[in-house]
Structure 1
Amino acid sequence: MAVEVVMPKLGMSMKEGTISVWNKKEGDMVAKGEAIVSIQSEKIETEIEAPADGTLLKVVVQEDQSVPPGTVIGYIGEPNEQLDQSKSLEKQQADSHAEKATEGAVFDVEKPSSKGATVSSSPVARKMALKAGINLENIVGTGPGGRITKADVEKAIAEQRVEPSEAKRSNSDVTEKGMQDGAKITPASAMRQVIATRMHGSLMQSAQLTMNMKADVTDLMALREEVNHTVQTRYGMKLTVTDFIARAVVLALQEHSNMNSAYIDEHIVTYEYVHLGMAVSLTQGLVVPVVQHAEALSVVELSKQIKSLSEQARTGKLQSDQLTGSTFTVTNLGVYGVDHFTPILNPPEAGILGVGAATDAPVFQGGDWQTRAMLPLSLTFDHRIVDGAPAAEFLQTIKQFLEKPTHLLL
């Protein structure tokens, strides 16, 4: 009997998953545990393993299509086996009807069009369209059966500032010029589209300002070397400079709660806890896993969480719940030799700290010139929430913690 390949639920907040690429085609042999398809949800990309040995009999959901968790996306069975999809189809239809009934109680926006047809769309897509003032009837859905997905609405939001004729002409020009110049034209991946939409929205919907400062981390480097032998022996790991920076940020946020805030619906929301976002660069894009309740963690515990989340991000094992709810973000480009840069806010947060590469510099100290390790810090903040002086005080507090590193261990 054929085995179903099902769209998994990657966290409680997941509404839909998108098929990125099928690694196998219909008729191919597959082995249990073999990665046969890649999927995306929000900013997570992960691979689904074959649940059984056999042949990929049928691909139900094609690449770039989005479906809810629990949807059958393919079947594995014996070669030439006849599929009985009636039960699965009935179950999915029942789930769909139940979902629509529930959605109707919350979002009264899926109504018959003037032509008598019903606009089929996901809950997230309808909510986004309602907020953006976009008529769903004007969107062409790319989901199964023409269902409008979140990505469709995000695309419509991005294009609503451009006249349709201009957008069409622009796309045509890009393709034509690319063909003439021999350039490679590749459609943006689902993850890239999400990043593009959010980053553009961040700049358009907030008043961002960046200020720079340098912290003397010579003593911090020395302390790290001193304690890492003990940390390695006791915990089987080593502390990084990023771990100490994260700890300094958490302590500074507790002293400057205005930076641990968000601007939501013309209200300033100030959090009593610190959910720290730590940006991780992947080959397919950038993700920001979140350390929950970082204020309750020691520097060693914080380091463990950061390392665990980073590893899960790189191996595609993060769940969507681990990518939401951050109250402040840290992004480090020092490993690439970058000095100062301008990080973009992770909305609706009030601030994000960019960290550059520490470099040796001559500093006049104690009546003499000394070589000290100077760490560039770049703080981007939302001026709607925080003014320049309070933001500078927050950055100064981070600097003080980094220059008196023993306080980070307490």
Structure 2
Amino acid sequence: MTTEVRVPTLGESVTEATVATWFKKPGDTIAVDEMLCELETDKVTVEVPSPVAGSLADIIAAEGETVGVDALLATISEGDAGSKAAPKGKETATDPKAESSAARTEASDESGGDSVDVMVPTLGESVTEATVSTWFKAVGDSVTQDEMLCELETDKVSVEVPAPASGVLAEIVAGEGTTVDASAKLAVISSSGAAATGSGSAKTEGSAEPTSNYQNPPAGQGTARSDVEDAPAAKKAMAEAGISRDAVTGSGRDGRVMKDDVAKAVAAASAAPAPAPAAAPRAPVAADDAAREERVKMTRLRQTIARRLKDSQNTAAMLTTYNEVDMTEVMALRSEYKDLFLKKHGVKLGFMSFFTKACCHALKEVPEVNAEIDGTDIVYKNFVHMGVAAGTPTGLVVPVIRDADAMSFAAIEKAIAEKGARARDGKLSMAEMQGGTFTLSNGGVYGSLMSSPILNPPQSGILGMHKIQDRPMAIGGQVVIRPMMYLALSYDHRIVDGKGAVTFLVRVKEALEDPRRLLMDL
């Protein structure tokens, strides 16, 4: 028997993807849910698992091909020994959508075999959790297969979760604002059309108490049934911690509070930031002005950018120190060798490689600028993964150049050019925007003369570059015109002292004003 592997649902408004990598080749033996290939869309990387066990018979869409939703990717010859057994009363799914990473499902024997679990889809390499941002459906609503149920947010992208089957949304397990891991259950769909009864949500043994407002009582507002007896150890722990029963979400049967639930509630309360002040109300708007206004909802990426930047200000003890650099020598060196550099390496010699090299040089002397705080520890990095901030039509992204300290000028320029192009085209994967240890932000390309950049957490330093402008300078007792640039280093004062920050910036200035110091490691 042959099974077709097709492109899974890619998300609202996403109509095509590019086949990035095949992990298997024709003839290879594969197991159920083993990853076959990886697709790239404008915003996210999607992994395609095998819907059945067997052997890969044929690859229809090769690497580099652009395919539409539901396009045929490959065919699988099913094996008898490894084939997936159908649950009692149900047939084995052969539609890849039913088993795709976009909506992994499980038959629920506890509900009589007529319900389907909605699981967190594959989030991408090294991404282990997401936040439920929006539910498009409420408990009791009818849903059709592949209809969007909710939207998840990771640090960089939004992921839409389609319905794996048609039916009725019986239970929302993870409400809006809930942080879920990569294997968590989000909801339950009743394929028989029966919604949950009682408190308005179908309760699954061992599942977390729902916090959604969609017919599920929010945590702290009647989440426990009055006839449910909490664990004695949990009662004792609540008394010792001085925490109210209403502040604890029970994970036991029928909402019973366990000892671990109390520990989680105490940890969450201690880690919770101070409540943000309420947004100031808008000033009254005249009727004729209101008619000329346009209200547009912020994109998820923009909301994530806003939240992370504000979190950075709220968390780090951020301070900025300034200096200026004479770009005469760098500009002369670039002018002298740019044609030869382009001819040999096939890439233009820009300023970013000089700044990257200068920063790597300075970070060796002042390693705390390249470190991060982890609880009560300082983690020093013996490498430099350089983040290069890039403005795109959809918002600011920071692709990472890994091991920049070990790269040549040419390798840095090629990497920056390639990452920049992928950023503008919206083709960066989440893995390419993670793991940075220090960041460069070049506001000078837009004409900025001076600004204070905001840290990119958990990093402890970011260097702001600005416009190169001719200014009169006193050199050797004479006033001469020099191409000058203001530099701004924002740093986390919790681990970087003023001496270290100023030393770092002076070393960058010295290396740029005399690039020979980079060759001599001085």
- Note whether the superposition's TM-score is higher than 0.5: yes
Give the aligned partner of residue 21 of structure 1. 13
238-247 or 286-295, larger mean C-alpha shift: 238-247
Distance 2:12 2:364 in 1: 41
Distance 1:401 1:347 in 2: 27
Give the match for residue 201 of structure 1: 311
Output the CA distance in 2 between the equivalents of 1:190 and 1:178: 31
What is the deviation of 1:41?
A: 4.6
5+ long unaligned stretches in structure 2: 20-39, 46-65, 73-91, 108-115, 121-127, 130-169, 183-207, 215-270
- 2:328 alignment counterpart: 218
1:295 equivalent to 2:405? Answer yes
Change (3 A) 1:298 1:87: closer
| Structure 2 residue corresponding to 1:125, chosen from 179, 196, 213 | 179
1:388 matched to 2:461: no
Query: Which residue, out of 137, 161, 165, partners 2:210?
Result: 137
Letter in 1 for 2:105: Q
Mapped to 2, the partners of 1:177 and 1:272 lie a distance apart of 60
Q: Is the 8 A contact 2:174 2:180 kept in 1?
A: no
Distance 1:53 1:38, change over 3 A: closer
- Deviation of 1:328 after TM superposition, in Å, equals 0.3
Counterpart residue type for residue 303 of structure 2:
Q
Aligned counterparts of 2:398 and 2:105: Cα–Cα separation in 1: 35
How far apart, in 2, do the equivalents of 1:383 and 1:178 lie?
49
Match of 2:275 among 143, 161, 167: 161
- Which one of 460, 468, 480 corresponds to residue 358 of structure 1? 468
> 1:177, 1:339 → 2: CA distance?
39
Query: Does residue 1:93 correspond to 2:166, yes or no?
Result: no
Instruction: Name which of 363, 368, 371 aligns with 1:261.
Output: 371
Distance 1:206 1:89 in 2: 44
| Cα separation, 1, equivalents of 2:342 and 2:286 | 58
Structure ranking higher in helix proportion: 1
Alignment of 1:11-410 (within 5 A): 19=11, 21-22=13-14, 40-41=43-44, 49-50=67-68, 87-88=95-96, 90-91=98-99, 92-94=104-106, 119-120=173-174, 125-126=179-180, 137-140=210-213, 161=275, 180-409=290-519
User: Against the structure 1 CA distance between its residues 295 and 119, is the aligned structure 2 distance closer, same or farther, given a 3 Å change threshold?
Assistant: same
CA shift, 1:362, in A, is 1.4
Query: How has the CA–CA distance of structure 1 residues 300 and 178 changed in structure 2, closer, same or farther, with 3 Å as cutoff?
Result: farther
Once the two structures are superposed, what CA deviation does each residue of 1:314-367 show, in whole Å capped at 9, x if it has no partner? 122211111000000000011111111010000011110000001111122234
| Contact 1:21–1:38 (8 Å) recurs in 2 | no
**CA distance change for structure 1 residues 180 and 233 in 2, over 3 Å: closer, same or farther?**
closer
Partner of 1:352, secondary structure, is strand
How many residue pairs are counted as aligned between the two chains? 320
Gaps of 5+ in 1: 9-18, 24-29, 43-47, 55-83, 101-105, 108-115, 129-134, 142-156
How many angstroms does 1:374 deviate by? 0.8
- Structure 1 vs Structure 2: percent identity of aligned residues? 30
> Over residues 208-246 of structure 1, what are the superposed CA-to-partner deviations in whole Å (9 max), with x where a residue is unaligned?
011111011111100111111210110122211122111
- Going from structure 1 to structure 2, the CA distance change for 1:372 and 1:203 (only over 3 Å counts) comes to same
Pick which of 203-212 and 308-317 moved more.
Answer: 308-317
Tell me how far 1:386 sits from its aligned partner: 0.7
2 CA distance for matches of 1:199 and 1:190? 14
Shift of 1:201: 0.6
Q: 1:177 to 1:407 in 2, by over 3 A?
A: farther
> Structure 1, residues 275-294: CA drift from partner, whole Å, max 9, x if none?
00000100110100000011
Q: From the superposition, tell whether residues 136 and 273 of structure 1 become closer, same or farther in structure 2 (CA, over 3 Å).
A: farther
Residues 43, 426 of structure 2: 8 Å contact kept: no
User: Greater relative contact order (Cα 8 A, min sep 6): structure 1 or 2?
Assistant: 1
Letter in 2 for 1:314: R
SS in 2 for 1:345: coil
- Paired with 1:317 and 1:185, the residues of 2 have a C-alpha distance of 28
Identify if the C-alpha distance between structure 1 residues 162 and 261 changes in structure 2 by more than 3 Å, giving closer, same or farther: closer
Residue identity matched to 1:21: S
The residue type paired with residue 518 of structure 2 is: L
CA contact (8 A) 1:214 1:374 kept: yes
- Paired with 2:17 and 2:499, the residues of 1 have a C-alpha distance of 61
Structure 2 CA distance for partners of 1:322 and 1:358, relative to 1, 3 Å: same
Per-residue deviation, residues 376-401 of structure 1 (Å, max 9, x unmatched): 10110001111112111111111010
Task: After superposition, give the CA deviation of every residue in 1:230-265 in whole Å (9 maximum; x if it has no partner).
Answer: 101101222111221111111111121111111122
Q: Is contact 2:178-2:211 (8 Å) kept? A: no
Q: Which residue of 2 aligns with 1:45?
A: none
In the alignment, which residue of structure 1 is the partner of 2:8? 6
Give the secondary structure class of the aligned counterpart of 1:6: coil
| In 2: Cα distance, 1:31 partner to 1:366 partner | 60
Q: Distance in 1 between matches of 2:42 and 2:173?
A: 25
Give the structure 1 partner of residue 186 of structure 2. none
**Could you state the TM-score of these two structures normalised by the residue count of structure 2?**
0.53
Closer, same or farther: CA 175–211 of 1 in aligned 2, 3 Å: same
With over 3 angstroms needed to count, the CA separation of the structure-2 counterparts of 1:268 and 1:200, relative to structure 1, is same
TM superposition shift of 1:21 = 2.6
Match of 1:81 in 2: none
CA spacing shift, 1:38–1:306, aligned 2, 3 Å: closer
Instruction: Name the TM-score, length of structure 1 as normaliser.
Output: 0.67
Task: For residue 194 of structure 1, give the secondary structure of its aligned residue in structure 2.
Answer: helix
